[in-house]
Amino acid sequence: MDSKIKILTDKLEQAYLGGGSNRIEKQHQKKKLTARERVNYLLDDGSFEEIGILVTHRTTDFNMDKEVYYGDGVITGYGTINNRLTYVFAQDFTVFGGSLSETHAEKICKVMDLALKMGAPIVGLNDSGGARIQEGVRSLGGYADIFYKNVQSSGIIPQISAIMGPCAGGAVYSPAMTDFTMMVEQSSYMFVTGPNVVKTVTNEEVTSEALGGAHTHATKSGVAHTTSPNDVECLEAIKRLLSYLPQNNTRTADQLDFTFQDEIRDELRSIIPENANKPYDMHHVINGIIDTDSFFEIHKDYAENIIVGFARIGGRSIGIVANQPLFLAGVLDVNSSKKAARFTRFCDSFNIPLLVLVDVPGFLPGTDQEWNGIITNGAKLLYALSEATVPRVTLITRKAYGGAYDVMNSKHIGADMNFAWPSAEIAVMGAKGASEIIFKKDIQEAEDPIAKLAEKETEYADTFANPYRAASRGFIDEVILPQDSRRKLLKAFSMLEDKKVELPKRKHGNIPL
């Protein structure tokens, strides 16, 4: 019996040490944590319980039976993050390059099943060269199994993917179907086909970093929701992100202790410039409304004309969607519409109330936008907000023109409370453009057309470029002073806390994908 115990102990020790760790490259070791270090850092001290530590691959082809490592290149299990149950898997690049095999996939699927049964988030720490070639279709089937479980879990439990090394081919699609994809700068990349294939097929020469690095996906494709300079900061970002989220779609996010005090914010008085065409930073409005230092921005460097992210107001977790006048004057375009629609749908899936801050002059015009589907992409945001049943509150700070006014959580598409500052301009279009159309004949016949246009522009602005006509119709619930915004929003979200909506019975809607 003693000899059997010793054999088992030796196996466990070998498995815990990672099997193939002796083959790790020096450069790789300097830049990145090991898979086990990542898991231990992410989870609360001493909370990790590993599942499948003695699993090995079943392949005998190509002399694979001569290289067998316990765990088969992935660490799986569960623990707690800030005392909340969380499931995790971490691919080990030192074992067959972290490649996915049949048993590797089975281990991941097992913890995904447990996460779904228990209603707890799952975090995937991806560091893999892709499918294990020696296993052929079995590894491809393993990927498909994971994809299917991603879809079955979508909207039920939070799914977070951290790309902490290479992620190529079929490996990229599981992270793409999770709720958030986080990347590490200079050490991670994602692409369907690598630089060598690209060169062969298109004759383009491109590096892995330029093709699918963290910066590329954070700024150009929007695949990466956040980026971090190293593994540790990426893991910290995961912990912070989870703090805003509930365990599953039947729960709400934890509410922090809060005592209502004097909530007037004088710094909001002077944010809007006197010149209506001058930009300002919507981040200043956000920071003047939310709890101190509570904003966690998503997609910060992608489609910068709209801001999305999580924050707290009165200790409650909320999602924020806000036009950003500093970029493209805050217009809606293809990328910003997709960015805001996806974020909106996530918040609605997990019972996170939405605050929409509006300063939008319309949709971006031009052939590029029209040919790339601004109609259907703009409709995605319209659909997402119209579909959302969570508490929805809107604050118009300045411009709300044309169809973009409707899209940005107007009362007409089901918003619960709509506020506006006195500086708000709610109209079909800007005063100058509207005057040129409405008073075209008067201007042409005038002795001084320029002066006449200025006169009519002022007349139109006085009539329509304000929030009071909309308020008289009930489309705006209250015109409030900027400094009162936080106090009003605190009370609105508190009032809406127990909102319930019964939807018509249907399989699912048909969002214009």
Alpha helix (H) residue ranges in 408-448? 431-438, 440-445
Contacts of 401 (CB under 8 A, 6+ apart): 360, 361, 362, 425, 426, 427, 428, 429, 430
Q: Alpha-carbon distance 408 to 125, whole Å? A: 35
403, 414, 446, 454: the catalytic one is 403
Q: Alpha-carbon distance 60 to 101, whole Å? A: 13
Phi, psi of 260 (to 5 degrees): -70, 125
130, 169, 314, 378: the catalytic one is 169
Q: Alpha-carbon distance 86 to 327, whole Å? A: 38
N-term to C-term CA, the chain: 62
Look up 71 and say whether it is catalytic: no
Write down the residue that tokens 């990347």 correspond to.
183
Provide the 3-class DSSP secondary structure of residue 398.
Answer: strand
71, 165, 170, 330: the catalytic one is 170
Contacts of 424 (CB under 8 A, 6+ apart): 396, 397, 398, 399, 400, 466, 467, 476, 479
CA distances from 131 to 63, 98, 127, 149, 171 (A): 18, 9, 12, 18, 7
DSSP code per residue over 355-366: EEEEEE--BPPS
Residue 460 and residue 434 in contact, taking contact as beta carbons nearer than 8 Å: yes
Tokens standing for 74? Answer: 């992935």
Look up 288 and say whether it is catalytic: no
DSSP code per residue over 88-132: EEEE-TTTGGG-B-HHHHHHHHHHHHHHHHHT--EEEEEEE-SB-
Q: Alpha-carbon distance 253 to 345, whole Å? A: 16
Look up 79 and say whether it is catalytic: no
Look up 404 and say whether it is catalytic: yes
Contacts of 185 (CB under 8 A, 6+ apart): 213, 214, 215, 227, 228, 229, 230
Reference 351, options 490, 501, 510; nearest CA is 501
404, 415, 431, 461: the catalytic one is 404
The residues annotated with a catalytic role in the active site are 169-170, 403-404
